[in-house]
Chains A and B, each alone.
Chain A
Amino acid sequence: MRPTAPLILSAALAITATSLTACGAFGNDPNTLKVVYLRNTDNKVRHMDHYLSMVKKQFEREHRGKKVKLIPIQAAQPDYWVKIQQMMRSSKTAPDVVYEDTFIINSDVASGYLRPLDRYLRTWRDWDAFLPQARTAAKAEDGKTYGVPIGTDTRGLWFNKKVFATAGLPTNWQPKTWDELLTAARTIKKKVPGVIPLNVYTGKGPGEASVMQGFEMLLYGTGADPLYDPKAKKWIAGGQGFKDALGFLKTVYGERLGPHPSDAVDPNVTTRVATELLPEGKVAIALDGSWMGQFWRETGGRPWPEWSRALGQAPMPTQYGDPPGKVSMSGGWTWAIPAKSEKPDLAWKLIETLQTQPNAVEWTLRDAQIAVREDVATDRRYLTSMPGIRFFTDLVRHTHYRPALPVYPRVSSAIGEAMEAVTTSGTSAASAAKDYDKELRSIADGKVVNRSR
Chain B
Amino acid sequence: MSSSSLPATPAPPAGVPVPAPAPPRAPVRRTRGAARRLRRRAGVDLALLAIAALFVLPLVWLLFASLDADASLRVGAPSPATMDNFDAVWTQEITFRPMLNSLLLCGGATLLTVVCAALAAYPLSRYRSRLVRPYLLTVLFTTCLPLTAIMVPVYGLYVQVELIDSLLGTALFLAATQLPFAIWLMKNFMDGVPIALEEAAWTDGASWLQTLLRIILPLMGPGLTVVTIYSFIMMWGNFFVPFMLLLTPDQLPASVTLFTFFGSYDTVVYGQLAAFSILYSTPVILLYVLIARKLGGGFALGGAVKG
| Chain A residues with a Cβ under 8 A of chain B | 1, 3, 5-6, 9, 12-13, 16-17, 19-21, 23-25, 27, 41-44, 71-76, 79, 83, 86-87, 89-93, 267-268, 271-272, 276
Known: A1-B213, A74-B260. A23 touches B104 (CB 8 A): yes
Q: Is the CB of A83 within 8 A of B165?
A: no
Per-residue 0/1 for B238-270: is the Cβ within 8 Å of any A Cβ (1 yes, 0 no)?
000000000111110000000010011111010
Name the segment of B1-9, B105-113, B277-285 touching the other chain. Answer: B105-113
Q: Is the CB of A76 within 8 A of B248?
A: no
Instruction: Find B168's partner among A1, A17, A79, A91 (CB 8 Å cutoff).
Output: A17
Instruction: Find B210's partner among A3, A24, A267 (CB 8 Å cutoff).
Output: A3
B236 → chain A, closest Cβ, in Å? 16
**5 A-B pairs in the complex with CB atoms less than 8 angstroms apart:** A1-B217, A12-B111, A23-B104, A41-B263, A74-B249
| Chain B residues with a Cβ under 8 A of chain A | 101, 104-105, 107-108, 111-112, 115, 155, 159, 162, 164-169, 171, 209-210, 213-214, 217-218, 247-251, 260, 263-267, 269
Instruction: Find A75's partner among B112, B155, B218, B260 (CB 8 Å cutoff).
Output: B260
Residue of A nearest to B272 (CB): A43
A112 → chain B, closest Cβ, in Å? 13
Known: A13-B112, A93-B248. A1 touches B214 (CB 8 A): yes
Residue of A nearest to B166 (CB): A24
Q: Is the CB of A16 within 8 A of B266?
A: no
Q: Is the CB of A43 within 8 A of B264?
A: yes
Residue of A nearest to B244 (CB): A86
A169 → chain B, closest Cβ, in Å? 29
Known: A1-B213, A9-B115, A13-B112. A24 touches B267 (CB 8 A): no
Q: Is the CB of A267 within 8 A of B213?
A: no
A268 → chain B, closest Cβ, in Å? 4
- State the CA gap A17–B218 with chains docked (Å): 25
A23 → chain B, closest Cβ, in Å? 5
Q: Is the CB of B218 within 8 A of A23?
A: no
- State the CA gap A24–B168 with chains docked (Å): 8
A410 → chain B, closest Cβ, in Å? 18
Instruction: Find A92's partner among B111, B165, B171 (CB 8 Å cutoff).
Output: B165
B215 → chain A, closest Cβ, in Å? 9
Instruction: Find A42's partner among B108, B165, B250, B264 (CB 8 Å cutoff).
Output: B264
Q: Is the CB of A267 within 8 A of B164?
A: no
Q: Is the CB of B166 within 8 A of A21?
A: yes
B61 → chain A, closest Cβ, in Å? 20
Q: Is the CB of B165 within 8 A of A24?
A: yes
- State the CA gap A43–B251 with chains docked (Å): 20
Given A27-B165, A90-B164, 16 more A-B residue pairs with CB atoms under 8 Å apart are: A1-B217, A13-B115, A16-B111, A17-B168, A20-B166, A20-B168, A20-B171, A21-B166, A21-B168, A41-B263, A43-B264, A43-B266, A74-B249, A74-B264, A87-B165, A92-B164
